[in-house]
Amino acid sequence: MLAMCLALGACSVFQWPEQVRGNKVDPDQLKELVPGTSTRDDVTALIGSPTARATFDDNTWIYVTQQTRPRIARTLGVVSQTVVVMNFNDQGVLQTFRTLDQADALPVEMASQTTPSPGTEASFMQQLLGNIGRYNPGAALGGASFGGNGAPSGGAPSSTH
């Protein structure tokens, strides 16, 4: 009993270190950026390239940082997450930036509906047996299929003298 308690207690001592993923933005670096004055080149030189850009707006840059730690079966668990969103005008001048964390995250629900596919609702056996007799070895090799007399089907039989 004592050995089991010690073994379980040791598990909490030997935790994997946290890993930083993404482009971590230091709050002190953000203080150096001035909306209305700083440009895209200034942001890139100070912070680096964005993790992503908005899908339909090239003027919105997104910097995502996650701190993760391996958990059960080596799956990664998110310890903390920070997202910095920067908006530029068409001339490339920084207009606004904001920092979001896990408290700002919105839950995403999966759709329970299925997308219908056109065609018949054939069972596995119908699909398997429905292709019997449709095999054409000539078509599979890219050649013509041959009739019983050795001539290509659809063509005239060859004559020999």
Within-domain flag for 77 = yes
Within-domain flag for 39 = yes
Within-domain flag for 6 = no
Within-domain flag for 36 = yes
Within-domain flag for 66 = yes
Listed in sequence order, the residues at least 6 apart from 37 whose beta carbon sits closer than 8 Å to its beta carbon are: 93, 94
pLDDT for res 90:
93
The Cα 161–Cα 159 span in angstroms is: 7
User: What residue numbers bound the domain in which 38 lies?
Assistant: 16-102
pLDDT for res 93:
94
Place of tokens 């339909």: 56
Q: Give the chain's domain count.
A: 1
pLDDT for res 19:
76
In order, the DSSP letters of 58-105 are: TTEEEEEEEEEEE-GGG-EEEEEEEEEEEEE-TTSBEEEEEEEEGGG-
pLDDT for res 101:
86
Within-domain flag for 117 = no
Put simply, whether the predicted model's pTM sits higher than 0.95 gets the answer: no
The Cα 59–Cα 52 span in angstroms is: 11
Per-residue pLDDT of the chain (161 residues; tens, 9 = 90+): 555 554 554 455 556 677 777 888 888 888 999 999 999 999 999 999 999 998 888 899 999 988 888 877 777 777 888 899 999 999 999 999 999 888 888 888 888 787 777 766 777 787 777 777 776 666 656 555 555 555 555 545 555 55
HSE of 89, CA atoms in CB hemisphere, 13 A? 8
Place of tokens 């078509």: 139
- The identity of residue 126, as a single letter, is Q
